[in-house]
Chain A
Amino acid sequence: MKKWHWIAMAVLTVISLIVEFTYLADYKSHWWNYVPAFYIIWGFVSCAVIIYVSKWLGKLFIFREEDYYDH
C-alpha cells in the first residue's frame, strides 16, 4: 500500500461524511440513518465480525485435516 492510496481513501471518506451531513435528506427511511457515519461503523464492524466469528467457528468444529475423507 502506497501513501497516496491512504490519502485517497481519507479524502473520499471525508467527502462522503460532508455529503452525508449536509446533503442527505431521507433520514426517515431507516432507523440507522440517525446514527452518524453509520455505514463506516457497519462496514468496519462487519469486516471484523466476519473474520473473527468465521475463524472461531472454523477452529470450533469445522476445520479438519485435508485427508479427512480419505480414511
Chain B
Amino acid sequence: MIIDLLTMPAVILILGAFILSVIPKQVRSATFIVFPLLALVSIWSVPNGFSLTVPLGEYELILVQLDALSRVFATIFAMVAVIGGIYAYHIDDLTQQTSALIYAGGALGVAMAGDYFTFYVFWELMAVSSAYLIWARRTKETDAVGMRYLLVHIFGGSILLSGIIWHVTESGSLAITHFPDEYTVASVLMLIGISINAAIPPLHAWLADAYPKATITGAVFMSAFTTKSAVYVLIRMYSGWELLAYAGVVMALYGVVYAVLANDIRQILAYHIVSQVGYMVAGIGIGTEMAINGTTAHAFSHILYKSLLFMGAGAVLYATGKSKLTELGGFASKMKVVVFLYMIGALSISGFPLFNGFISKSMVVSAAGYAHFETIQLLLILASVGTFLHTGLKLPYFTWFGESKSEITVKPVPVNMIVAMGIGAFFCTLFGVYPDLLYTYLPYGVDWEPYTVYHLVEMTQILIFTFIGFWLFRKKLEGDNKIALDTDWFYRKPADYVRFLFIDVTAILFNIAEKLVNKATAAVNNAFKNPVQWIHPIHDEDTDTSSYIPDIGSVVGFVIFTVTLFVLSWIVMW
C-alpha cells in the first residue's frame, strides 16, 4: 500500500521537491530531471485499467485511475517536466525548482485522479505552486502579477469546489463522472471553475497577464500544465457539450486578434495558447470519437511545440534582456541555433506537413467538418492562418530579422537551454513524421490519415498565401508601444474601489463595532464594578458618606440578605 502510494507519479514529483531542498545544490538540477523520468517509468509500468484506492470515511478515494486518455496526458506532462528541467539546468534557485516539481506533480495528479477530492487537491496545488514561478522574479511588478494570478485561481478553485460539493451531495459519489449536456447547478459551477483554468474568454485574462511575467524557465512549465490539465478534465466531464464547440471557436479567434495587438513576445505566445486551446475546447464540444482523439493528440502536440516556442522566446529574453517587438530585431545571425529550433516549433504550431501540429490540428478541424460543424471548421482554418501569421512570421521576423530597433547586446545562451530546445524540436518532428507513434495511444481507434493529397493541397495553398499576405501587409504588423486592454480590466482598474469596498469599508465598520463594544464593555464594567451597590439601600453616589464608607453598605446588605434568608426558610418550614 505504502509502496503503491510512493510510486504514484504525482507523489514521486512532490516528494522529489522535498528531497531537492535537502540535497547539495551542485546535484540539484540533475536530480530534478530524475523525478519526472521516474514518473514516466511509473506511468508506463502499469496497464490501462490500473487504479489505486484508499478509504476516506464513508467515501472511497481513487488516487489513480489509468486509462488511455489519462496515460497520454500524464506522459506528456512528465515529458515536458523533463525537458523543462533540462532547460532550467543552469539556474540555482531552490524556490523555482521545488515549485516547478510540485506544479508538475499537481498536473500529473489531476491527469490520473479518479475522484473529485483527489482531483481538487492536486488542482489547487498547481495554482499555488505555479504562482511562485512568477514571484521568483522578485520585482515589485511580478509580486503584483503573481498575486493577481493566485487570486484568480483561488476564485476559480472555490467555484469548482462549490460545484463539487453540490454534485457529491446530490449524487452521493465522489467518483469523477461525465455530465450529460444539461445545465444543473453543480455542472455549471464546475464548468466555470474549470473554464478559468482552460482560459476560456472572458475568463482567460490571467494567462496573458501572468505568463509574460513569469521567470524564463517558469513560463515553459506554465505553458504546459494549467490549461492542458483543464482540457483533460473537460474531456472527462464535458465532452459533447455543444456550448464548448462555439466557445472553442471564440477562443481560437480571440487569441489570434490579441496576438496581433500584443507587443511582448511571450504575450504573443500566451495569446496563442488561448487560440490553440480553442481548438481543443471546440473538439471537446463536438465530442465525436474523432474529435476527442484530435483534441487529445492536439494537447500532446501543443505541449511539445508551445514549450519549445516559450523556450525560444525565453532564450531571447535571457540573451538580450528584452522581450518587446518594438525593442528587438536584426540579430538572427547571433543566435542561429535558437532561431532554427524556434522555427521548428513555429512550423509545428502552424501545421506544416512533417511537423506534429499538422497531424493533430487537422484531425480536430476535419472532425468539425465530419460532424457537420462546417462554419466552425472554416473559422478554425481562419484561426490557423492567424497562428502561422503571428508565431511563424510576425514574431520571428520582428524579433530576429527586420531592422534593429534598439541597442542590443546578445549574451551567449547556456548549452542546456539549447539542448532542451533540441529535444523539443526532435519530438515535434518525430511525431510529425511518424504520427502513428501517437495515434496508437489515443483513447479511441484512429481511422484517419493526415497525409492525404487533399490535406497537403489545402495546407500548401493556405500557408503560401498567408505568407504572401504577411509580406504585403507586414508594415501593419509592426509592434505597437501599447498595451492591449483585456478582461482583466474588470478586476484591475477598479482595484482601488474593490480595495475600498472590501478593506476600507470593512475597516470602518470594524472600527465602529469596536467602539460600540468598548463602550458597552465600559458601561457593563461600571455597572458591575461593585454589585453590592445594587443592594445598598441607602446608596447615593453624590453623598460623601456612602462613597467614603461603602463597607457600611455591604454590612447592611449582608444583614438584610441574612434576615431575608431566615424569614424565607422560616416560611418554608412553617
Contact = CB atoms under 8 A, between A and B. Distances in A.
Interface of A: 1, 9, 12-13, 15-17, 19-20, 23-24, 26, 29-32, 37, 39-44, 46-55, 57-58, 61-66, 68-69
A54 to B, nearest CB: 4
7 contacts: A9-B464, A16-B456, A39-B461, A39-B462, A42-B462, A50-B385, A55-B261
B493 A50 contact: no
Contacts of B473: 47-48, 51-52
Contacts of A44: 465-466, 468-469
Given A9-B464, A42-B381, A43-B385, A54 B261 contact: yes
B542 interface: no
Given A13-B460, A19-B457, A66 B466 contact: no
B260 A66 contact: no
The main secondary structure of chain B at its interface with chain A is helix
Given A16-B461, A47-B466, 9 more contacts: A16-B460, A40-B461, A43-B463, A43-B464, A54-B261, A58-B480, A62-B485, A63-B482, A68-B483
B312 to A, nearest CB: 22
A49 B486 CA distance: 21
B453 A50 contact: no
A30 B369 CA distance: 8
B257 interface: yes
Nearest to A49: B382
B454 interface: yes
B374 interface: yes
B204 to A, nearest CB: 15
Contacts, number: 132
Given A16-B461, A40-B461, A42-B378, A47 B470 contact: yes
Interface string B85-100: 0000000000000000
A69 B453 contact: no
Contacts of A63: 261, 480, 482-485
B386 interface: yes
Interface residues of B, number: 43
B176 interface: no
B52 to A, nearest CB: 45
8 nearest A-B pairs in the assembled complex, by CB-CB distance = A47-B469, A54-B260, A43-B465, A43-B462, A39-B461, A46-B385, A44-B465, A63-B482
Contacts of A52: 473, 476
Nearest to A68: B483
Interface of B: 256-258, 260-261, 369, 374, 377-378, 381-382, 385-386, 389, 453-454, 456-458, 460-471, 473, 476-477, 480-486, 492-493
Contacts of A41: 465
A20 B260 contact: no
Contacts of B469: 43-44, 46-48, 51
A65 B482 contact: yes
A33 to B, nearest CB: 9
Given A58-B484, A63-B261, A51 B468 contact: no
B104 to A, nearest CB: 31
A58 to B, nearest CB: 5
A64 B485 contact: yes
Nearest to A39: B461
A39 B486 CA distance: 32
Contacts of B484: 58, 62-64
